[in-house]
């Protein structure tokens, strides 16, 4: 019989050889998107699929803040294409912001060539999925305390409703209390904090919701402003390398529909995903803590200090190439 000391030592040595992702549970993630308004949402979602399959994260839900039902239909098509049709979807409802069809949702799911449909889809799916904030409450209630990463790359509508929600079948806690207990951090693509600020799109389309979130969110918020992603242009050539089927893949189909090729799209939404999942790689810097305020016209301001819980992301010139290279890898399914 081996001494207990030897058994314990051997077990500990074995443990040190186990990859980190096998030793720890992947972080639960909720992704909130205005899918259809820009192609960077599709690229950001494909990044999350890569992280999920590498067990870096556990993508618990995708919630949609664009008020057109085909935003749900397209997102479901993406999930199924990547073999992740089980990931639940939530929807803001047809009364949500930007109710128009968008630049690629319907065009992609209905795409045909010579009468042949490329994709199968359910045009009534938006009627069958839960309201976004309700799905968020369900995921949060089931999660370990302080574990959930929320990434919001569209409007603040859904998370404002989450904050203002009351007790329900999932939790006796109100929304603000539930967030405070369960959410580790909120990463948002929102605002413009450069030298000449203007009302940024994600904010201005629901100013009231953005003000609610930045004034009432109980934990930390890390915001990526317009000025960050506007300096990073996704190399569209990589789509040909990673997705040789081209139009038969919904990511490429959507990218081709959104603008006339060739174009390298700005990567606003991808910045929040990368910083949320790989903060230790130091692709971006974060400011000292402070406070983000949303003005009545939708302009955003950031002031350091004062005990604030907000930070903004900063991009150094030397990091542009490494960031773009990481975008290409993760969008292309390479972890």
Domain ranges of the chain: 21-331
**Cβ distance 236 to 261 under 8 Å?**
yes
Residue 154's region, left for phi above 0, alpha for psi from -120 to 50, else beta, is beta
Q: Quick check: helix, strand or coil at residue 321?
A: helix
**What class does CATH assign to 21-331?**
alpha beta
pTM to 2 decimal places: 0.92
**Each residue's pLDDT tens digit, 165-214:** 999 999 999 999 999 999 999 999 999 999 899 999 999 999 999 999 99
* pLDDT value of position 21: 40
Cβ-based neighbours of 286, under 8 Å, separated by 6 or more: 222, 275, 311, 312, 313, 314
Per-residue pLDDT at 19: 43
Give me the pLDDT at residue 24, please: 81
- 20 pLDDT exceeds 90? no
DSSP-derived pairing of the beta strands 221-224 and 310-314: parallel
């Amino acid at each position: 019989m081996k001494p207990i000391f030897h058994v314990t030592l051997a077990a500990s040595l074995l443990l040190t050889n186990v990859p980190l992702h096998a030793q720890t549970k992947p972080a639960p993630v909720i992704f909130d998107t205005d899918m259809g308004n820009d192609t960077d949402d599709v690229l950001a979602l494909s990044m999350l699929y890569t992280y999920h399959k590498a067990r870096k994260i556990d993508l618990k839900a995708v919630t949609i803040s664009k008020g057109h039902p085909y935003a749900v239909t397209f997102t479901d098509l993406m999930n199924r294409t990547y073999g992740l049709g089980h990931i639940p979807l939530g929807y803001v409802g047809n009364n949500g912001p930007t109710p128009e069809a968008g630049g690629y949702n319907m065009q992609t799911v209905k795409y045909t060539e010579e009468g042949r449909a490329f994709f199968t889809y359910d045009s009534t799916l938006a009627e069958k999925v839960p309201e976004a904030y309700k799905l968020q409450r369900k995921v949060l209630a089931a999660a370990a305390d302080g574990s959930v990463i929320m990434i919001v790359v569209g409007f603040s509508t859904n998370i404002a409703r989450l904050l203002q929600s009351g007790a329900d079948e999932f939790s006796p806690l109100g929304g603000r209390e539930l967030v405070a207990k369960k959410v580790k951090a909120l990463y948002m693509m929102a605002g413009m904090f450069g030298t000449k600020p203007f009302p940024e799109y994600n904010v201005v389309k629901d100013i009231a919701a953005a003000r609610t979130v930045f004034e009432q969110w109980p934990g930390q918020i890390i915001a990526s402003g317009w000025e960050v992603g506007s300096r990073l242009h996704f190399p569209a050539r990589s789509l040909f390398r990673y997705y040789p089927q081209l139009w038969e893949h919904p990511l490429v189909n959507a990218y081709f529909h959104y603008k006339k090729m060739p174009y390298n799209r700005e990567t606003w939404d991808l910045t929040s995903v990368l910083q949320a999942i790989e903060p230790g790689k130091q692709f971006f810097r974060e400011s000292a803590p402070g406070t983000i305020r949303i003005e009545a016209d939708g302009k955003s301001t950031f002031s350091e200090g004062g005990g604030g819980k907000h930070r903004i992301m900063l991009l150094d010139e030397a990091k542009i190439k490494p960031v773009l290279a990481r975008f290409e890898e993760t969008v292309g399914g390479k972890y």
